[in-house]
Structure 1
Amino acid sequence: MSDVERNIPGEDLPLAGVRVLEFCHTVMGPTCGLMLADMGAEVIKVEPAPQGDRTRVLSGFVAGAFSYYNRNKKSIGLNLKTEEGRGILYRLVKDADVVAENYGPGTAERLGMGYETLSKINPRLIFCALKGFLPGPYEHRAALDEVAQFMTGLAYMTGPPGQPLRAASSVIDMLGGIFGAMGMGALRQRETTGRGKKITSALFESSAFLVGQYMAGQAVSGLEPLPLPVRRRGWAIYETFDAKDGKKVFLGLTSNNHWNTFCDVFGRPDLKADTRYDTNEKRLDAYDFLRPLVQSVVIEYTVAEIIDLLAPKGIPIGPVGKPSDMFEDPHMNAGGGLLETMMTTGQKAKLPALPFSIDGKRLGLRLDPPKLGEHTHEVMARIGLSKDEVDQLIEREILR
Structure 2
Amino acid sequence: MSRQALEGLKVVEVGNIVAGPWCGSMLADFGARVIKVEPPKTGDLMRGMGRIKNLWFAVEGRNKQNVTLNLKTEQGKKMLWQLIEDADVLIENFRPGVFRKLGFTWEEIHRRNPRLIYTVASGYGQTGPYAPRPGFDRMGLALGGFLEVTGYPDTPPVKPGISVADFYTAMFSCMAVMFAIYDRDVNGSGEGQMIDCALTESVLRLQESIIAEYSYDGTIRTRIGNGTTVTVPSGHFLTKDDKYVALSITGDKLYRDCMHQIDRQDLIDHPDYQTTIDRAAHREEINAEFAKWARAHTLKECLDILGEGIPACPIYNVADIMEDPQFAARNDIVEVETEQFGKIKMQNVCPKMLGTPGEIKWPGQPLGKFNKDVFGGLLGYTDEQLAKFAEDGVI
Matched to 2:380, the amino acid is: G
CA distance, structure 2, for counterparts of residue 194 and residue 152 of structure 1: 34
Match of 1:140 in 2: 132
- SS of residue matched to 2:206: helix
Q: Runs of 5+ in structure 2 lacking a partner?
A: none
Which residues of 2 match residues 124-163 of structure 1 at below 5 A?
Answer: 124-134=115-125, 135-161=127-153, 163=156
Say whether 1:175 aligns with 2:181: no
Which residues of 2 match residues 307-386 of structure 1 at below 5 A?
Answer: 307-313=303-309, 315-341=310-336, 346-359=341-354, 363-380=358-375, 381-386=377-382
- Deviation, 1:341, is 4.2
- Deviation, 1:177, is 1.1
Matched to 1:250, the amino acid is: A
- Deviation, 1:200, is 1.3
> How many residues are aligned here?
389
User: Any idea what the Cα deviations from partners look like across 1:141-165, whole Å, max 9, x if unmatched?
Assistant: 2211111222233222223346233
* Contact kept? 2:5, 2:357, Cα under 8 Å: no
Identity of aligned residues (%): 30
Decide whether aligned partners of structure 1 residues 237 and 163 sit closer, same or farther in structure 2, where only a CA change above 3 A counts. same
User: Any idea what the Cα deviations from partners look like across 1:61-93, whole Å, max 9, x if unmatched?
Assistant: 998542332211111111111111122122222
Say whether 1:32 aligns with 2:27: no
Decide whether aligned partners of structure 1 residues 100 and 290 sit closer, same or farther in structure 2, where only a CA change above 3 A counts. closer
- SS of residue matched to 1:260: helix
Match of 1:389 in 2: 385
The range that moved more, 146-155 or 280-289, is: 280-289
CA distance, structure 2, for counterparts of residue 287 and residue 388 of structure 1: 72
* Contact kept? 1:46, 1:76, Cα under 8 Å: yes
Decide whether aligned partners of structure 1 residues 68 and 216 sit closer, same or farther in structure 2, where only a CA change above 3 A counts. farther
CA distance, structure 2, for counterparts of residue 269 and residue 366 of structure 1: 55
- SS of residue matched to 2:31: coil
* Contact kept? 1:342, 1:369, Cα under 8 Å: no
- SS of residue matched to 1:46: strand
- SS of residue matched to 2:68: strand
CA distance, structure 2, for counterparts of residue 289 and residue 398 of structure 1: 65
Aligned-residue CA RMSD (Å): 2.8
User: Any idea what the Cα deviations from partners look like across 1:236-293, whole Å, max 9, x if unmatched?
Assistant: 3112223232212122232222232234434555654565544334445665664454
CA distance, structure 1, for counterparts of residue 235 and residue 372 of structure 2: 55
Which residues of 2 match residues 40-189 of structure 1 at below 5 A?
Answer: 40-59=31-50, 64-134=55-125, 135-161=127-153, 163-184=156-177, 185-189=179-183
CA distance, structure 2, for counterparts of residue 352 and residue 318 of structure 1: 21
The range that moved more, 21-30 or 358-367, is: 358-367
TM-score by length of 1: 0.87
- Deviation, 1:349, is 3.4
* Contact kept? 2:236, 2:246, Cα under 8 Å: yes
User: Any idea what the Cα deviations from partners look like across 1:322-346, whole Å, max 9, x if unmatched?
Assistant: 2443233322222121233467852
- Deviation, 1:304, is 2.6
CA distance, structure 1, for counterparts of residue 320 and residue 69 of structure 2: 39
Which residues of 2 match residues 269-308 of structure 1 at below 5 A?
Answer: 272=268, 277-284=273-280, 290-308=286-304
- Deviation, 1:317, is 0.2
User: Any idea what the Cα deviations from partners look like across 1:361-400, whole Å, max 9, x if unmatched?
Assistant: 863311211211111111112211122322232232212x
CA distance, structure 2, for counterparts of residue 236 and residue 385 of structure 1: 64
- SS of residue matched to 2:94: coil
Matched to 2:115, the amino acid is: R
Matched to 1:333, the amino acid is: A
* Contact kept? 2:334, 2:348, Cα under 8 Å: yes
- SS of residue matched to 1:357: coil
Decide whether aligned partners of structure 1 residues 61 and 171 sit closer, same or farther in structure 2, where only a CA change above 3 A counts. farther
- SS of residue matched to 2:209: helix
Matched to 2:230, the amino acid is: G
* Contact kept? 1:249, 1:303, Cα under 8 Å: yes
The range that moved more, 188-197 or 20-29, is: 188-197
Specify which of 256, 278, 303 is matched with residue 252 of structure 2: 256
Matched to 1:279, the amino acid is: T
- SS of residue matched to 1:75: strand
CA distance, structure 1, for counterparts of residue 203 and residue 53 of structure 2: 20
* Contact kept? 2:95, 2:134, Cα under 8 Å: yes
* Contact kept? 2:241, 2:299, Cα under 8 Å: yes
Specify which of 235, 240, 243 is matched with residue 239 of structure 1: 235
Decide whether aligned partners of structure 1 residues 304 and 360 sit closer, same or farther in structure 2, where only a CA change above 3 A counts. farther
Say whether 1:209 aligns with 2:202: no
- SS of residue matched to 2:131: coil
Matched to 1:166, the amino acid is: K
